[in-house]
Structure 1
């Protein structure tokens, strides 16, 4: 942390020291490297692959035949891909929240406020760290899906081709960034890392299980289908599938766009609360 403030002073005519010079770009780089080092030491890059791989293993192997029989030969690897990618993004969000919570518990955020550094530098550094982990999680989630048997649907098979697959991956990446943004704010507001884990993990876990990501909508009891169809994870999953199938419309993608902006607003509110606490 000592490297965060660049040394060097200007002397006035009498030789007195004025304000210390600071380089925000260097401060951002030092804090970003600090965050990435912590991610590497905690083994988060490894878990970025283990998490989607285990999820694919636990659901694809036991359910592929059952779902295929119940849904007229549905290709379960193609069907499962969006939720595997979304759960990879959920892992990034949980990691972001925990790192932010530990920094708060250890007083790191408060110490940054008294240093001669712009207030946005620590936030931008955490965002850069989360972005790198998000890219790793996207690659690892995609690798797990490819091993499971997922492939882009070719254009000559009335699919979206490689372009549709790329658009679906971009969509889940954007949603994942918004989730990590909110999770970072949750970590700053929550009093303990354990509380942070519950606030981030439980909603995504429950919504994931009660979504059309793992099972087709028709296999849910009729009384809960309305919730399953309209909740945010199902909406993102539906948009991704239609992008890959080449049938997406604005009506399909719009709910995901609005959820993205909703998450950004929620994240800004959380950071406002955290700023008042620290200040």
Structure 2
């Protein structure tokens, strides 16, 4: 007999898995330090050597790099989520859940709730670092819109990266599989230099890839309101990336996701 999963039951399952993941994250001091340390490292690595050259071109680099630090934090959060889910899979947690009359989505959704929270914490840390050199928000509405984009982008990336990780043989394999894609996503984007700084043939790719589109929306919220094009492109990429992750997890064997 197949048990029927009631909506309230699923919510309780998600709550239990959320509590587990939260406890696990708080106990992992290295991960917590990484949430704050990563923006600092990227700030030192890019702002310090580039701010003079960018100022000479009339660009307020503190205002420009703040959202880039946030986007990088979202990517790191997604990579950590993927590794953690791969560890759960290797440890047999997902197989155990699959053998019980509960929803297979409980662990994933519980993980996602914690990841979005972690992404927002990382965003606060990144914004605080950038604020030390002059980064500011123009309006309170911009802050709320900024946070919403961060939450959506973090969720979409986590769903996609977790789907990749669940097909890796081990957590280390998951990290290796995602290392190059995440580097390409951030480096071949407008994160640290404008699209004009890339070769002409590459600019369309740089301009319309997901990180650059999200950065357009984030920077727009910093100064007031982003363009409708930036908002629609951001929503489209988040739906596409998150949808691919959900479909991939749904097609996985029940003992995997």
Fold match (TM-score > 0.5): yes
Q: Is the 8 A contact 2:86 2:168 kept in 1?
A: yes
Ranges of 4+ aligned residues in structure 1 off by more than 3 Å: 23-30, 275-279
8 Å contact kept, 1:189–1:270: no
Matched length:
249
Question: 2:142 touches 2:224 (CA, 8 Å); kept in 1?
Answer: yes
2:109 equivalent in structure 1: 124
- Secondary structure of the structure 2 residue equivalent to 1:115: coil
RMSD: 2.2
8 Å Cα contact 2:142-2:225 kept in structure 1? no
TM-score by length of 1: 0.81
2:228 match: 250
Aligned to 2:164: 186
CA contact (8 A) 1:92 1:176 kept: yes
Structure-2 change in CA distance of 1:49 and 1:243 (3 Å): same
Tell me the TM-score normalized by structure 2: 0.87
Shift of 1:234: 1.2
Tell whether the 8 Å contact from 1:138 to 1:173 is kept in structure 2 after alignment: no
Alignment pair present for 1:61 and 2:39: no
Rg larger for = 1
- Segments of 5+ residues of structure 1 without an aligned counterpart are 1-22, 154-160
CA shift in 2, pair 1:25/1:233, >3 Å: closer
Matches within 5 A, 1:73-84: 74-84=59-69
CA distance in 1, matches of 2:11, 2:213: 39
Find 2:217's aligned residue among 239, 244, 250. 239
Q: 1:269 to 1:166 in 2, by over 3 A?
A: same
Structure 1 position 40 matched with structure 2 position 49: no
